[in-house]
Amino acid sequence: MQNSRTYSVISAALVAWFQEARRDLPWRRTKDPYALWVSEVMLQQTQVATVVPYYERFLARFPTVEALADADLGEVLALWQGLGYYGRARNLHAAARIVRDEMGGHLPRDVDALRALPGIGEYIAAAIASTAFDVRAPSLDSNVIRVITRVFDVDTDPNLAPARRLIRDHARALLPPEQPGLVNQAIMELGAVICVARNPDCPRCPINAYCAARALGIQNARPVRRPRRELPHRDLVAALIAREGRLLIVRRVPRGLLGGLWELPGGEPQPGEDAAAALARILRADLGLEVEVGTLAVTTARTYSHFRAATAVHRCAATGVPAPTGPWDAAQWLSPAEAPRYALTGATLQALRAIAWLPATDDA
């Protein structure tokens, strides 16, 4: 660990740079803990440029915790459509109801109390507490971890507990008693625009004189990275079933992958089972429909957190009344005009745009 004077000098340099060079982002114009919470949830695994319009639309529709808590989950998911990782939206909605019902509509100031809410982990809790309430809590997102491992040359995997503790100690030592959130934001900004993952712009860095990795010429070797795991591949099937200009969609149960979203009915074939047999089996068992499987309409490709999937979408004719069970809890006959009110899965949107049932200009 460095002496306290070194940490203070680095912090002062970061703040001076940040106040001069920071990007003008909408969540930086407020200290409202709810607005900051929404922004941090949206920014998880999503680029800033993508988040900005979603953030503005979301707060326009749900300006307070109470407004979000009072809303139907389906409306929240529909407004979230295109941001992906829908579990974030489900957790945000669930947590808003807890804040409304058990906390008087006010987010707690305490980091541990924030972490007890659904979807709020160590990083988001610290970001809210430090920025909104001036709590001296280090926010360890990927940008901060990258900056810290370079400046202080942390030479082990930051996902391992000893390295994580060391990074947290350095980050905490950089935080002054006054406006710790400003330093957290400055470190995050530095990692986002200068101390980037590959080929950082070291000459422009306001703290390059204190960077141990730069002095050693090993910037690109920090943080230490684990080998990437190859994602497994899954082949799926789905059915396009039309009646009087409407398509059958089903809603996934509100838990697990893509919970609460609407999709074309389908699933995963059993080993050795072809698309026709798989669709006939799945739709009979989980929808109570008898189907005649027709031609292939389109094949979609999507990447999820733990696997990649190719979905073969077939035009089908069906008899019977949909009675969803198993992976689905509702069914609907959808017209193109009604589609914006439904939170459709990415694979479903991709398929419906590919066959020109929906316009390609809708939000992805």
Q: Which of 218, 226, 147 is nearest to 187 (CA)?
A: 147
If you average pLDDT over every residue of the chain, what do you get? 95
65 backbone dihedrals φ, ψ, rounded to 5°: -60, -40
Domain ranges in the chain are: 4-221, 233-354
Q: How high is the pLDDT of residue 327?
A: 96
pLDDT tens digits for range 231-248? 999 999 999 999 999 999
Homologous superfamily in CATH for domain 233-354: Nucleoside Triphosphate Pyrophosphohydrolase (3.90.79.10)
d(CA 354, CA 348): 10
Q: Is the pLDDT of residue 228 over 80?
A: no
Percent of the chain past pLDDT 90, that is, above it, reads 90
d(CA 155, CA 198): 17
Query: 319: buried, middle or exposed (CB in 10 Å: 19+, 13-18, 0-12)?
Result: exposed
d(CA 113, CA 109): 8
Q: What is the dihedral of CA 27, 43, 360, 244, to 10 degrees?
A: -100
Q: How high is the pLDDT of residue 363?
A: 44
pLDDT tens digits for range 208-227? 999 999 999 999 999 998 87
pLDDT tens digits for range 19-58? 999 999 999 999 999 999 999 999 998 999 999 999 999 9
Question: Residue 304: which pLDDT band, with cuts at 50, 70 and 90?
Answer: confident
Q: Is the pLDDT of residue 310 over 70?
A: yes
Strands 290-303 and 246-252: unpaired
Question: Residue 1: which pLDDT band, with cuts at 50, 70 and 90?
Answer: low
Residue range 4-221, CATH number: 1.10.340.30
Q: How high is the pLDDT of residue 227?
A: 79
Helix (H) or strand (E) run with residue 332 in it: strand 328-334
Q: How high is the pLDDT of residue 326?
A: 94
To the question of pTM greater than 0.75 for the whole model, the response is yes
Q: What residues are labeled active site?
A: 40
119 backbone dihedrals φ, ψ, rounded to 5°: 85, 0
Question: Residue 364: which pLDDT band, with cuts at 50, 70 and 90?
Answer: very low
Rounded to an integer, the average pLDDT of 323-337 is 96
Q: Is the pLDDT of residue 256 over 90?
A: no
C-alpha distances out from residue 142 to 24, 190, 244, 259, 310, Å: 21, 11, 50, 27, 30
Q: Is the pLDDT of residue 360 over 90?
A: no
Question: Residue 361: which pLDDT band, with cuts at 50, 70 and 90?
Answer: low
Question: Residue 309: which pLDDT band, with cuts at 50, 70 and 90?
Answer: very high
**Per-residue DSSP letter, 295:** E
Region of poorest pLDDT, from 57-66, 107-116, 256-265? 256-265
User: Which two structure tokens, joined as six digits, stand for 348?
Assistant: 């479903």
Question: Residue 362: which pLDDT band, with cuts at 50, 70 and 90?
Answer: very low
